[in-house]
Amino acid sequence: MNHMAWLQLVTWLLVALTGICYLYQVVYLIIPFFVKPRPHQSARLHRYAILIAARNEEAVLPHLLDSIAAQDYPAELLTTFVVADNCTDRTAQVAQDRGARVFVRNNRTQVGKGYALHFLLDKLQQTEGLDRFDAFLVFDADNLLQPDYVTEINRTCSDGYEAFCGYRNTKNFGSSWVSAGYALWYLHDSVHLNQSRMLLGTSCAVSGTGFGFTRQLLERCGGWSFFTLTEDIEFNTWCATRGVRIGYCPSAMVFDEQPISFRQSWRQRTRWTQGGLQVSIRYAGDLLRGLARGGRTAYASFETATLSLWGYGMSALSCSLTLLTTFLASRWLGLASMLLASLVSVYLSLLAVALLTTVTQWRKIHATTRQKIGYSFTFPFFMMTFFPIAVTAVFRKFQWQPIAHTVAVGVESLSRDESHI
């Protein structure tokens, strides 16, 4: 075989391996149609500490606190704590006015949600004692909870899961094609990825907010010690590589606000990409050890690896080699044809995901019919912008900056089963 033949063989083997590694994502799309969910065990009432890290959130925080106060769960078993993190507005005051226990943090060096949660839990240990609580629920200040959120998530906690998350919806789906892009991805993550993981008995994944963990797991972690730019991905990776199964509760619905402008989105997703790189490098050894453990831990570690630098790096390498072999064989015309065919294929695949998600979750999306359908067709463009973001993230130094939240609405304006036409 000549050099070209060897290059083509290696390329196709790598492409095949990449396809096999991501085949589970296709399988997950159809699992909910064929596998029935397991019934919950008898629920035990747990005492929860609700943790909110807020930075200049006076506009939206009151609505979250109101939705917590409106929970149908016993109020004496819920205590809300807010860390006013480097605030220059009235966040601390509005939280106190609504009965939350507030701690003020001023640290311009250690910036980010991971540090704020560590500070808050440390303060709880000093003032309240963590032993008072069975578990902890984490929310962002822009969130809204359905009245039965805690009741429903408590069912999953009672099933024996050490960490758990709910159904992540969006309160500003119709604001722009950007906010709709986020919303569709989170819905897909909930109803196709996490739901299928739950049905198959594998570990789910938290996505930044609307999740919880038991006191026992916190002690096993040695306290909250996840400080990368993406503390949620780090937490997921830690759990996956240590055999901790994360549960998912589809009936525990939380709404949050998504960025509206592409500039905001670019900045946020750059942070996500760089945080993902941090986690991939820091936990490379853990992922290998997790794979070696076998069973569910090995599968969870494998899936986590496919969604990390290592999986995406393999995908990028297979794409690059495919383009290179095409160029060497057919020069510019062949390369142009391959690029066009690839873009069309990616667009149609992502469109299928968007339409499937929109149709199956139609009544839970708070938007007009035109927005639901129209933004399904822009979703592939939103996802494809991850490619240039990932490239620039590798070469750009990122400084964490908060995203302003301005959609100040109450949960009563969002209906779980309402379709706005």
pLDDT digits (tens, 9 = 90+) for 147-161: 999 999 999 999 999
For residue 287, pLDDT beyond 90: yes
For residue 131, pLDDT beyond 60: yes
**For residues 222-234, average pLDDT:** 94
Residue 201 lies in a domain: yes
What pLDDT does residue 372 have? 97
Strand (E) or helix (H) holding 139: strand 135-140
What pLDDT does residue 401 have? 66
- Report whether 150 contacts 234 (CB < 8 A): no
Instruction: Tell me if residue 110 falls in helix, strand or coil.
Output: coil
Strand order in the sheet with 135-140: 101-105, 78-85, 48-54, 135-140, 211-214, 163-170, 246-256, 144-145
pLDDT band at 417 (very low <50, low <70, confident <90, very high): very low
Residue 279 lies in a domain: yes
pLDDT band at 419 (very low <50, low <70, confident <90, very high): very low
What pLDDT does residue 314 have? 85
Give which of 8, 73, 28 is closest to 47, Cα–Cα.
73
For residue 310, pLDDT beyond 70: yes
- Pick 406 or 268 by higher pLDDT: 268
Phi/psi at 167 (5° precision) = -80, 120
Q: Exposed e or buried b for every residue in 85-120, given b needs 16+ CB within 10 A?
A: bbbeebbbebbeebebbbbebeeeeebbbbbbbbbb
For residue 335, pLDDT beyond 70: yes
What pLDDT does residue 317 have? 86
What pLDDT does residue 416 have? 46
Residue 409 lies in a domain: no
- Pick 390 or 50 by higher pLDDT: 50
- Pick 349 or 20 by higher pLDDT: 349
Residue 63 lies in a domain: no
What pLDDT does residue 353 have? 96
What pLDDT does residue 399 have? 63
**Cα–Cα distance measured from residue 204 to residue 201, given in angstroms and rounded to the nearest whole number:** 9
Instruction: Tell me if residue 381 falls in helix, strand or coil.
Output: helix
What pLDDT does residue 420 have? 45
- Report whether 303 contacts 420 (CB < 8 A): no
Comparing 209-223, 353-367, 386-400, the range with the smallest average pLDDT is: 386-400
For residue 46, pLDDT beyond 70: yes
**Cα–Cα distance measured from residue 291 to residue 400, given in angstroms and rounded to the nearest whole number:** 32
Residue 44 lies in a domain: no
Residue 163 lies in a domain: yes
What pLDDT does residue 329 have? 78
**Cα–Cα distance measured from residue 162 to residue 215, given in angstroms and rounded to the nearest whole number:** 8
- How many Cα neighbours within 13 Å face the side chain of 97? 10
**For residues 358-367, average pLDDT:** 96
| pLDDT tens by residue, 59-117 | 999 999 999 999 999 999 999 999 999 999 999 999 999 999 999 999 988 999 999 99
Average pLDDT, the chain: 92
DSSP type of residue 405: -
For residue 402, pLDDT beyond 80: no
Pair of tokens at residue 352: 């299928």
Angle between helices 23-34 and 3-21 (to 10 degrees): 30
Comparing 285-289, 304-308, 396-400, the range with the smallest average pLDDT is: 396-400
What pLDDT does residue 400 have? 64
What pLDDT does residue 421 have? 42
**For residues 292-304, average pLDDT:** 95
What residue numbers bound the domain in which 382 lies? 1-35+146-397
What pLDDT does residue 13 have? 87
Residue 70 lies in a domain: no
State what percent of residues in the chain have pLDDT above 70.
97
**For residues 389-416, average pLDDT:** 74
**For residues 191-208, average pLDDT:** 95
- Report whether 99 contacts 62 (CB < 8 A): no
What pLDDT does residue 320 have? 84
Give which of 221, 247, 238 is closest to 290, Cα–Cα.
238
Pair of tokens at residue 288: 């290998």
What is the count of structural domains for the chain? 1
Residue 414 lies in a domain: no
Angle value at C-alpha 191, between 189 and 195, nearest 5 degrees: 95
**Cα–Cα distance measured from residue 363 to residue 367, given in angstroms and rounded to the nearest whole number:** 9
Question: What is the pTM assigned to this prediction?
Answer: 0.92
- Report whether 258 contacts 182 (CB < 8 A): yes
